[in-house]
A and B are shown apart, each in its own frame.
Chain A
Amino acid sequence: MKDDSSSFGSVSNAISGGTDVQGAQSVTFNAQHETLDITDFSDTGMDMIKGLENPDVTIDSNFDSSNSGGQAIIIDDLEGSLTDNLHVAFLPDENGSLGFEARMTVESAEHTGEVDGKAEVSYSLVPQGGNGFSIIT
């Protein structure tokens, strides 16, 4: 997770230039295109083409009360106090070198606590900037 347009961060394994989201338990980076149906009368099967890239990210996490790290960056964006762009990198492989990256903004942060449980938070992020996502190799 990074508040800098020139770099990107991590939501899993450490990567240079980013800040880990501490406490993350489940991360979904949905790298998807819109699909446009161009099937016409001459076709005998469905014909789809790629449209705009529309990634979305969901992070389910233990609440990090340290007010630092990746969750603090997300909250800054939610609050509107983040001065730079928020970039998210999702690096699911064990070496932290392969994955996806996109410029995002926080849509919501659902904080939940139960009397016999722990404080948890679920972040939902939507794309910003109009550049879609990148594949990190």
Chain B
Amino acid sequence: MGVGNSGFQGTVKVDKSSSISTRTDGNALGGVQTASITPTQTPLDITSFADTGIDNIKGLQDTELTIDLVEKPDDTAQTDIEEVFLDRELVYVAFFPSSTSFGFTSQFIVSEISNDSEVDSPDTKTLTLLQSDSSGYTVLT
């Protein structure tokens, strides 16, 4: 099994203009310390009188992406994220959980940038991105 045992080897890729379809697309987001993506299919309850148990079907696809990172002012992808946030634009983001080509991608709005500064620590940010793509998310393999 390909579980990384020497630290998190995943990647978050960002592209302002083009969709991300492979691991080599986009700019790698620097300074990432924790990343979490939750692709969801909201279940729709279609249980009817004939059933003896709950019956769900797949609903709309939704994705939320949360990233904790150390601020790096010269990082292109971090700058892009801030620009699309300020300009209220959309950004393509792909999350690859490990060093392989498997991952998830979609188009997002940057919902929130939470900045944290302390006297004895590097500046950090928490990014919250919400899916803005009527086609849902794409699984990359």
Residues of A within 8 A of B (CB): 22-23, 34, 52-55, 62-67, 75, 78-81, 102, 105-119, 121, 126-133
Q: Apart from A81-B139, A131-B51, what 4 extra A-B contacts exist at CB < 8 Å?
A: A23-B3, A62-B1, A111-B36, A114-B8
Question: Distance (Å) between the CB of B56 and the closest chain A CB?
Answer: 5
Count the B residues whose beta carbon is within 8 Å of the partner chain — how many? 41
Question: Distance (Å) between the CB of A68 and the closest chain B CB?
Answer: 10
Specify which of B2, B9, B32, B55 is in contact with A130 (CB 8 Å cutoff).
Answer: B55
- Chain A residues contacting B100 (CB-CB under 8 Å) are 65, 67
- Chain A residues contacting B18 (CB-CB under 8 Å) are none
- The answer to whether the Cβ of B115 comes within 8 Å of any Cβ in the partner chain is no
**With known contacts A117-B8, A131-B51, A106–B41 Cβ distance under 8 A:** yes
Whether the Cβ atoms of B34 and A52 lie closer than 8 Å is no
Specify which of B34, B36, B41, B102 is in contact with A65 (CB 8 Å cutoff).
Answer: B102
- The answer to whether the Cβ of B113 comes within 8 Å of any Cβ in the partner chain is no
**With known contacts A105-B58, A106-B41, A67–B8 Cβ distance under 8 A:** no
Q: Which 6 A-B pairs have the closest CB atoms?
A: A132-B53, A130-B51, A65-B2, A130-B55, A53-B53, A113-B8
Whether the Cβ atoms of A65 and B99 lie closer than 8 Å is yes
Q: In the complex, what residue of chain B is closest to A81 when comparing beta carbons?
A: B139
**What is the CA–CA distance of A133 and B53 in the complex, to the nearest angstrom?**
8
- Chain A residues contacting B43 (CB-CB under 8 Å) are 105, 107, 126
Q: In the complex, what residue of chain B is closest to A122 when comparing beta carbons?
A: B38
- The answer to whether the Cβ of B111 comes within 8 Å of any Cβ in the partner chain is no
**With known contacts A67-B102, A75-B139, A118-B8, A54–B34 Cβ distance under 8 A:** no
**What is the CA–CA distance of A107 and B8 in the complex, to the nearest angstrom?**
25
**What is the CA–CA distance of A106 and B77 in the complex, to the nearest angstrom?**
32
